[in-house]
Structure 1
Amino acid sequence: MQLLLFLSLKLLILLLLLLQLLLLLLLLLLLLLLLLLLLLLLLLLLLLLLLLLLLLLLLLQQLLILLLLLLLLLLLLLLLLLLLLLLLLLLLLLLLLLLLLLLLLLILLLLLQLLLLLLLLLPLQLLVLLLLLLLLLLLLLLQQLLLLLLLILLQLLL
């Protein structure tokens, strides 16, 4: 019985290591996406500056109808760019929240792995009790993560 429990704990530790690796991969992907969004934000700001420069150059000319049409076009483009910037900022905020959530989950998994390693040295009754407590802790953590994701989704919808 103790050998079976010992092997199951070893398997659980290996599964936790695999989960940590998957979370690290997801964290790296989110960081890459965050960098890409920042690059896109910089490109949009550059385009905005170029449009403002073009607007300034057009103001120096005297062709009134062409100027009005180009002004209207530039204003529409500026509005579109501002909306895109706002959308990007919201997406960056969401990504930062997800990164914090993943970091928290990684820390908790490391703590759980450390506790499981300590459990290998304890007697059987205490081991079962601590395993039940760890399972309860994981369920509570999962509940909190789901609530946080639900709040984020609700905030994005409003």
Structure 2
Amino acid sequence: MRVEIENGKLVTAINFMYELKLTRKHSRFRRHFINLMNESLKVVEDDRKELLKEHSHKDEKGEAIVKDGQYDVKDMDALSNDLKELNTEKLVIEGGDNREMIRTIKHVLKKFEDEEYEAQASEIYDYLCEQFSVDVEDEKGAEE
């Protein structure tokens, strides 16, 4: 069992999962899933800041120049390409210790398949269902 979530979809996935009304086991594993995504999001944000510094003009000390709270970027195309690459990299959650969480989140997503979603919620729901292989039965079945 393996789930991959693109860095660029972490915030949307976290927000979507927070909105679901869940109890007991489902709520606990949602919290575990959100915590994993939040940890990954912190790393992504640190990497984003490093990319901004790397692509900025430097002062005489070699520090990135910041004007009005914004980095003074010297090559927006290069920065944009690096940020796109960063956003397509993925958080990978392997089975093992996370097997029960993956099964439970898969079951949660399946449980909400008859709900109507709009715009971004619809897109992230479909994306998460795809990543958790909701339409694929697993060998033991999802636990309630």
TM range (shorter): 0.3 to 0.5
Structure whose residues are more often helix by fraction: 1
**Which protein is bigger by CA-based radius of gyration?**
1
Instruction: Normalising by structure 2, report the TM-score.
Output: 0.38
